[in-house]
Structure 1
Amino acid sequence: MLRRQFLGAAITAPLAYAAGSFVPVWAQNALNFGTPTLPSPGFRRIKVGDVEVVSLIDGIARRPLGEEFVKNAPIAEVRALLASQNLPTDYIDVPFTPFLVMAGGRRILMDTGLGEFGGPTTGKLLENMRAAGVQPGDIDTVLITHYHGDHINGLRNKAGEFVFPKAKVLVPAPEHAFWMDDAKMNAAPEGMKGAFQNARRVFAQMPSDMLVRFEPGSEVAPGIRSVAAFGHTPGHTLFQLQSAGQSFFYVGDLTNVPALFARNPDWAVTFDMDAEAARKVRRETLQRIVDAKAMIGGFHFPFPAFGRAVAQGSGYAFQPVA
C-alpha cells in the first residue's frame, strides 16, 4: 500500500526533465528573474566536537514562485511570509549545498550536487572542494540522502566516469529499490520517467564493491547514524553526526526553503512525493533537533547552509551561523 501511495503521489510531483537533460526542470534557472549571486568563498567550516564539517555550495537556481510551489496554502499567504522576512516574493532561490565531514583521515561527502549537468550557476562543488583543500580522490565515502538529480548527478561526469573514484557510495536501501523497480518505472507517467532513467544512469552500472546499500537507522560511518525521514521520496534519509557530546543533523530535503517550510512545517512543497508523510517527519525532526540543541545543515538552506533551528510561533526559524 505504501509503495502505491508513493507512486500515486509522485504522478503530480514536478520531477519532469527537459528533453535530453539530466537536470530536473525545477532545478534550472528562470532567466527572466535575473541570475543569482554565488557566495565567495563557496565553502564554510564549523567544528562539531572533534570533527570538522564543511558546507560546499554547488550552486543556486532561481525559479518563479507560482501557485503550485506550496500545495496547501494560498499564494498570498506564501508571499506575505516571504515579505515579512525581507525576501523576494516573485521568485525563489534554491541553493544546492553538499556537506563534507572531515574526521581524522576520513573524508565523507554527503550528497553530490548537479555535477556537470546543471546551468552556469551550478556545478561548483569540485571547485569549492579544492578551495577548501580537498581533492575528489580524497573522498573515501559518499552518503546519499535520496535519488533526485540535484543530489546524485555529481557522482558521474558527462563521460560516465566516477568523480570520486576511491569512494564507497552508501545509499538507502528503500530508496534504491524504488527507483530501480522496472514495474514502477513502467507505470510512471512520461514526465516522471526521466527521474527513473537518471537514477539508472548514475547507479545501474556502478560496481558492486562501490555501491553499498544500508537500512535507514543504521550507523553508516563511525559517529554518523542514518535517520529514516520518508516522505520527500520513498527512502529519503538524514544523517546525524555526534562527536564529543555535540551533534549535527544533515537534513537533506527535509525542508526546501526553510523560510517557508520550517516556519510552517505543515505546508507542503510541490517536490514532496508523499506530502502527508513529509509534513509529519518534518515537524518531528525539527522538534528533535531543537530539543537536542544540535547544529542543523540543509541541502537547500541559504549559505552557509548550517546553523540552529529555534521554535518560533507554530513552527521553527533557521538561524544561520555568523
Structure 2
Amino acid sequence: MKNILQTKAAFSALAAAVALACAGHASAAAPLSPIGMPGYARIMVGDVEVTPLSDGTADLPMVDLLKNDKQKTLAALTKAHVGSPATTSTNAFLINTGSKLILVDAGSGTLFGPTLGKLVDNLKASGYAPEQVDDILITHFHPDHIGGLVANGKLAFPNAVVHADKRDADYWLNADIKAKAPKDFIGFFQGAEVSVQPYIAAGKFKPFEHNGEVVPGIKSVSTYGHTAGHTTYILESKGKKLVILGDLIHVAAVQFDNPGVTIGFDSDPAQAASARAAMFKTIAKEDDLVAAAHLQFPGVGYIRANGKSWTWTPANYTSRP
C-alpha cells in the first residue's frame, strides 16, 4: 500500500509540474513578426509568367469619393466587411514573356503617402530587379500609377522604355491645362511631370496613338473616361488572355452590383461608366481572366454577367506558377 501511495504521490507531483510548465508556456507571449506581408503572387497565362505586385494599400473615403447615395455605399462596404474609410489595394503586374520583362503600371513611389510605394521592394522579393525591366506600360498618368517611375530624381527602371497613350501625355504634361486646373488636381500634373519627364529627357518615352500591339504579345485598347487616355492592356499567349483593366473599376463591393457608379477621380464620368460597361461585356462573353489595379490584391479573377450587374470571382489560388 505504501508503494502505491508513493507512486500516486509521484504521479501527482509530475502532473503538477507538467501543468505548471504548460501554464508557463501558454502565457509566454511571442513577439510580433517583423516580416512584412508578402507582396507578390504568380500566375501563368499560356506560357507567359505574370507576377502581380502590391504597391501597398491606402485608406480612402469611398463614401465621399463614389458618386452614389452615401448610405447605400456605406451599407455595401459594411456588408463586404470593408468599412469606411475603405482599405484599397494598388496593384501592378510584371509580365515575363521569356524574351522581355514588362511592367504594367509603376506604383506610387513617394506621391501617395507612406502606406504605398512598396512596388520595387516587392518586385525584388519576387526574384527580379528593376534593371531587368525592358518596357513599362502605363494605364494612365494618375500618381499611384506613375510615381514609382522615379526614385530620388533618377530613373527607377534605368533600362526601360515607358509606353502610354499620347492623349494622357498631352493632357497631364500640358502647362496650359495645368494652369487652368482646379487646385485639388495640381498635384496630379506635378506628379506627371516629375515622373515622366526624366524618361522623355532620356529618350525612353514612346507614346502611342491608336489601339494595337504595344510590345510583342500585348495590345492596347482605349478605355477613355477615367482620364483622357486611360488604356486597358490585353496579354495573349497560347489562346489564353489576361485583360489588365487599370482603373476601370475601383470598389468591388459597390461597382460590380452598381456599375453605373463612378468615382471623383474620373475626368469624364459618363465616358468612364460607358467604357467599363463595354469592356466588362466583352470580358464576360469571352470568359477572360482579368487583373485590376484597385481590387483587393492580387486583383486577379473573372467577371460574370448577372442581369444588369456583374459578379466577381477571384482566381483560384495555386502554389504552382
TM-score, normalised to structure 1, is 0.83
Deviation at 1:80, TM superposition (A): 2.5
Alpha-carbon contact 2:146-2:196 (below 8 Å) kept: no
Partner of 2:49: 52
Figure out how many residues of one structure are paired with residues of the other and give that number.
281
When residues 168 and 198 of structure 1 are mapped into structure 2, their CA distance, relative to the original with a 3 A threshold, is same
CA distance in 1, matches of 2:83, 2:126: 34
Partner of 2:313: 319
Partner of 2:73: 78
Alpha-carbon contact 2:111-2:191 (below 8 Å) kept: no
Partner of 2:197: 204
When residues 95 and 78 of structure 1 are mapped into structure 2, their CA distance, relative to the original with a 3 A threshold, is same
Structure 2 counterpart SS, 1:97:
strand
Q: After superposition, where does 1:55-70 map in structure 2 within 5 Å?
A: 55-66=52-63, 68-70=64-66
CA distance in 1, matches of 2:304, 2:70: 25
Structure 1 counterpart SS, 2:38:
coil
Deviation at 1:101, TM superposition (A): 0.6
Deviation at 1:271, TM superposition (A): 1.4
Structure 1 counterpart SS, 2:154:
coil
> Equivalent of 1:222, from 216, 220, 223?
216
CA distance in 2, matches of 1:117, 1:190: 16
CA distance in 2, matches of 1:248, 1:165: 27
> Equivalent of 1:249, from 243, 250, 255?
243
Deviation at 1:281, TM superposition (A): 0.5
Alpha-carbon contact 1:57-1:124 (below 8 Å) kept: yes
Deviation at 1:132, TM superposition (A): 1.0
When residues 238 and 306 of structure 1 are mapped into structure 2, their CA distance, relative to the original with a 3 A threshold, is same
When residues 100 and 178 of structure 1 are mapped into structure 2, their CA distance, relative to the original with a 3 A threshold, is same
When residues 299 and 65 of structure 1 are mapped into structure 2, their CA distance, relative to the original with a 3 A threshold, is closer
Report the residue type matching 2:268 in the other structure: D
Structure 2 counterpart SS, 1:204:
helix
Deviation at 1:39, TM superposition (A): 7.8
Deviation at 1:198, TM superposition (A): 1.7
Deviation at 1:304, TM superposition (A): 1.5
Pair 1:101 & 2:98 matched: no
* Higher gyration radius (CA): 2
Pair 1:170 & 2:163 matched: yes
Deviation at 1:258, TM superposition (A): 2.1
CA deviations over 1:287-311 (Å, ceiling 9, x no partner)? 1111111100000010121011112
CA distance in 2, matches of 1:254, 1:65: 15
**What residue ranges of structure 1 are gaps of 5+ in the alignment?**
1-37
Pair 1:40 & 2:37 matched: yes
CA distance in 1, matches of 2:252, 2:281: 14
CA deviations over 1:99-142 (Å, ceiling 9, x no partner)? 01111131100001111344332221111111111000010000
Alpha-carbon contact 1:304-1:321 (below 8 Å) kept: no
CA distance in 2, matches of 1:122, 1:208: 26
Pair 1:139 & 2:136 matched: no
CA distance in 2, matches of 1:82, 1:205: 40
Deviation at 1:313, TM superposition (A): 3.9
Partner of 1:289: 283
CA distance in 2, matches of 1:296, 1:103: 18
CA deviations over 1:159-217 (Å, ceiling 9, x no partner)? 21100000011111110011122221111122222211221112234335201011241
Structure 2 counterpart SS, 1:231:
coil
Deviation at 1:231, TM superposition (A): 0.3
**What residue ranges of structure 2 are gaps of 5+ in the alignment?**
1-34, 317-321
CA distance in 1, matches of 2:259, 2:209: 26
CA distance in 2, matches of 1:184, 1:120: 29
CA deviations over 1:29-56 (Å, ceiling 9, x no partner)? xxxxxxxxx9832111111111111100
CA distance in 1, matches of 2:111, 2:265: 20
Alpha-carbon contact 2:107-2:147 (below 8 Å) kept: yes
Percent of aligned pairs with the same amino acid: 35
Partner of 2:183: 190
Structure 1 counterpart SS, 2:107:
coil
